[in-house]
Structure 1
């Protein structure tokens, strides 16, 4: 199964997403913000199949994280999450590095489907 890094500043969202995608057997690692997620990525040499990150976070937001992750680990698949329309608009133009943007609130089924889709797209492009 896949190894997935989840970055979200809301603990309840991190736990929900980790539990939801854990149902499918994926290994999850969580970070409280983009800065912590980038430290984890760097310390583990990008050894993740997917980065699932909220856009709006303190210290380093998901857009900055996605740009840094794509630069340092170009094979990493990136999936963004947001509950804000203006944040979703900021993700436009990142199609080259971001697989998709998942809109919050979402159901457990929605996030599992989005993750499965991102991972299958990665396999078909390898």
Structure 2
């Protein structure tokens, strides 16, 4: 069981991912955008095992969130999600910080497998 923070502006997707992860016994906290997710991370002093964030969101996107969170919380595993090919391309320079990019749409089994794989791999260590 892990503690997971989901940052996703699309409520149905956020609820779907939450249910998928709760099936595996993970404790899930939700944020509606990157700014809210960063606030939660800071309030809880990074007390999460995994940050699962959409790339394209209002206020603060997932890439900005990853860039802000990774140096502050080096033990945090970061997994990005996107339904846009151009957004996936934006994540290419982040291999040192981000475990992977999950392409939407995904199935319940897909997201559960990607989260399990990311948690097993552990956090990325820059440099």
Instruction: Settle same-fold status: TM greater than 0.5.
Output: yes
1:49-64 equivalence runs, <5 A: 49-64=49-64
1:74 deviation in Å?
1.2
TM-score when normalising by structure 1: 0.96
Distance 2:9 2:86 in 1: 18
1:75 deviation in Å?
1.2
Which residue of the partner structure matches residue 117 of structure 1?
117
Map Cα deviations across residues 5-41 of structure 1 (whole Å, 9 max, x no partner): 0000000011000000110000000000000000000
Runs (4+) off by over 6 Å: none
1:40 maps to 2:43: no
Return 5+ residue gaps in structure 1 as ranges. none
1:4 maps to 2:37: no
Structural RMSD (CA): 1.1
Distance 2:122 2:80 in 1: 15
Map Cα deviations across residues 93-118 of structure 1 (whole Å, 9 max, x no partner): 10000000000000000000000000
TM-score when normalising by structure 2: 0.96
Distance 1:47 1:37 in 2: 12
How many residues align? The count is 124
Distance 2:77 2:25 in 1: 18
> Residue 74 of structure 1 aligns to a residue in which SS?
coil
Distance 1:39 1:98 in 2: 19
Which residue of the partner structure matches residue 83 of structure 1?
83
Return 5+ residue gaps in structure 2 as ranges. none
